């Protein structure tokens, strides 16, 4: 039978190891700004790849919802190369749409994910989404 001290140390070690794995293996995507231009809604994303290797191409299917919650349109966002440990900003313009007309943006899945030894599912299984705007980012 394990002593309380041994059990506590074991649980602490497991907790620290789990936190380290989770921190080292995520793809953070933040909707950083949403700006209406003369002819489009410009969406700026901050992306951080904390995996041990680069993602050489990541293209996501995005669903844009209007303020009433109805689907406005489906589109593809090509985030390109996402190097490990180096934040990247990507901007996309959605023509004919004011950002104030959007309520939510759903990352519906990865259309393309090239990540060599990390595996093709890494772009979806480790995705952490957040938004600094009034537009919710879901996945």
Q: What is the pLDDT of residues 63-114, one digit of tens each?
A: 999 999 999 999 999 999 999 999 999 999 999 999 999 999 999 999 999 9
**DSSP structure string for 55-113:** EEEEEEEEEEEETTS-EEEEEEEEEEEE-BT--EEEEEEEET--GGGEEEEEEEEEEEE
Provide the residue ranges of all domains of the chain, joining segments of one domain with +.
Answer: 27-138
Report pLDDT digits (tens) over 6-30: 444 444 444 444 443 445 699 999 9
Q: What pTM does this model have?
A: 0.81
Query: What is the DSSP secondary structure assignment for residue 116, as one 8-state letter?
Result: G
Tell me which of 21-35, 39-53, 103-117, 122-136 is least confident: 21-35
Second-level CATH architecture of 27-138: Sandwich (2.60)
SS3 label, residue 31: strand
pLDDT of residue 4: 57
122-125 long-range contacts, CB within 8 A, separation 24+: 122/27, 122/51, 122/55, 123/27, 123/55, 123/58, 123/60
């Amino acid at each position: 039978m394990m002593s309380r001290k041994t059990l506590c140390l074991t649980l602490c070690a497991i907790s620290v190891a789990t936190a380290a794995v989770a921190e080292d293996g995520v793809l953070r995507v933040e909707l950083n700004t949403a700006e209406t231009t003369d002819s489009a809604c410009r969406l700026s994303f901050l992306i951080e790849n904390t995996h041990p290797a680069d993602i050489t191409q990541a293209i996501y299917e995005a669903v844009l919802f209007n303020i009433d919650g109805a689907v406005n349109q489906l589109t593809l966002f090509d985030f390109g190369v996402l190097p490990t440990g180096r934040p990247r900003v990507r901007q996309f313009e959605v023509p004919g749409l004011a950002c104030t007309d959007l309520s939510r943006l759903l990352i519906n899945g990865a259309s393309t994910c090239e990540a060599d030894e990390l595996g093709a599912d890494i772009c979806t299984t480790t995705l952490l989404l957040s938004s600094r705007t009034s537009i919710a980012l879901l996945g």
